[in-house]
Amino acid sequence: MVAWTVRLGLWQNRPMPTEQASPVPGFLYGTAWKEDRTPALVELALRAGFLGIDTANQRRHYFEAGVGQALTKAYSEGLLKRSGLFLQTKFTSQGGQDHRLPYDPAAPLRDQVAQSMASSLEHLGTDYVDSYVLHGPMSGYGWTTADAEVWEAMVKERDAGRARLLGVSNVSLRHLEQMLAAHTVAPAFVQNRCFASRGWDRYVRSFCQEHKIIYQGFSLLTANIEVLRHPFVNGLAREANASSAQIVFAFARRIGMLPLTGTTDPEHMRQDLASLDLELSPEAVEAIESLAG
Ligand SMILES: NC(=O)c1ccc[n+]([C@@H]2O[C@H](COP(=O)([O-])OP(=O)(O)OC[C@H]3O[C@@H](n4cnc5c(N)ncnc54)[C@H](OP(=O)(O)O)[C@@H]3O)[C@@H](O)[C@H]2O)c1
């Protein structure tokens, strides 16, 4: 097995110290829903300073090969090296896909994982990803034997050196508890939609903290419009000469989250990265944490 490890710490866009190259950066640039604009937007994000990219081998929502095109261009222009980039993709089961499948749907799940990974590596022009994420369990109610088969196949990919770290997405506390009880390998990442109205996914986050799993939060802005409009958050933004979006990202980082943004706007790219350097008092963090739930 390849002995890569990740240490938890406070999130800045300065790379986190890890024992290998491709450390986990402080922000991930998300590539969903960008279609033909994917190569240009990924290039823009890399030029803006993002060091982490999130994608998926799910053509329905992502154009993974377009991410690869941007990376090839960025390497050839000397913008960055593969070893300086944190590259994350996902295995999406058939229920989450349209007809453009990256595997044979008649194959056993373990083979689908291997085929999807091979296709991802080809799309991304690399021989390993830094993180390989199970896009979502098959059932909303619990961890199934099918999920277990997929996870074990992902562990094999990691052991073969094709993935440095593994993760799981769209999970409840119950999924995680059952998953950890069923497997010897725990995820390094959980990636969830983060609603302020659910205490910013309080129970999953606290489970992650307890098990040294890095929590990746998406839809931090779009799922939390009420927070962006809240007078308290607007006041903090005014005081810091920042936007409410930046306050939300700064808050996310302060509570130990690894935030994602999929902004298409170069100015928002700059602002999102700059939010990592915004200071928030412990009182402000506590107030935002309990603002909506
Ligand atoms: N695992 C999963 O199932 C899953 C599901 C959904 C998403 N994801 C990942 O998460 C990534 C992010 O997705 P998301 O759901 O968080 O939505 P998103 O695509 O990042 O959308 C964020 C919205 O916020 C706006 N925005 C960003 N920065 C801003 C700023 N500084 N000021 C004002 N507006 C700003 C963007 O508008 P502008 O474009 O105008 O800036 C956009 O409308 C995706 O690309 C994908 O990689 C994963």
Mean pLDDT of successive 10-residue stretches along the chain, which has 293 residues: 30 41 88 98 98 98 98 97 98 98 98 98 98 97 98 98 98 98 98 96 97 98 97 97 98 97 98 96 95 77
Model pLDDT, residue 210: 98
Based on the number of CB atoms within 10 Å of its own CB, is 184 exposed (0-12), middle (13-18) or buried (19 or more)? exposed
> What is the four-CA torsion angle of 241, 246, 252, 253, rounded to 10 degrees?
-70
What are the pocket residues of ligand 1 if the criterion is a CB atom closer than 6 Å to any ligand atom?
30-32, 54, 135, 169-170, 191, 218-222, 243, 245, 260-265, 268, 271-272
Could you tell which of 54, 221, 253 is best to mutate to test the pocket of ligand 1, judged by most ligand atoms within 8 Å of the CB?
A: 221
Q: Looking at the CA of residue 264, tell me the nearest atom of ligand 1.
A: 39
CA distances from 239 to 25, 233, 272 (A): 27, 10, 17
pTM (2 d.p.): 0.94
Model pLDDT, residue 108: 98
Q: Looking at the CA of residue 135, tell me the nearest atom of ligand 1.
A: 1
Could you tell which of 28, 224, 263 is best to mutate to test the pocket of ligand 1, judged by most ligand atoms within 8 Å of the CB?
A: 263
Q: Distance, CA 260 to ligand 1 centroid (Å)?
A: 7
Could you tell which of 61, 219, 243, 257 is best to mutate to test the pocket of ligand 1, judged by most ligand atoms within 8 Å of the CB?
A: 219
Do the Cβ atoms of 246 and 278 come closer than 8 Å? yes
Q: Looking at the CA of residue 223, tell me the nearest atom of ligand 1.
A: 15
Question: Ligand 1: which residue has its CA nearest to atom 20?
Answer: 262
Neighbouring C-alpha atoms within 13 Å toward the C-beta of 268: 12
CA distances from 162 to 52, 72, 89, 113, 156 (A): 17, 19, 12, 12, 9
Model pLDDT, residue 12: 38
Q: Looking at the CA of residue 268, tell me the nearest atom of ligand 1.
A: 31
Q: Looking at the CA of residue 54, tell me the nearest atom of ligand 1.
A: 47
Q: At 102, is the secondary structure helix, strand, or coil?
A: coil
Q: Distance, CA 151 to ligand 1 centroid (Å)?
A: 27
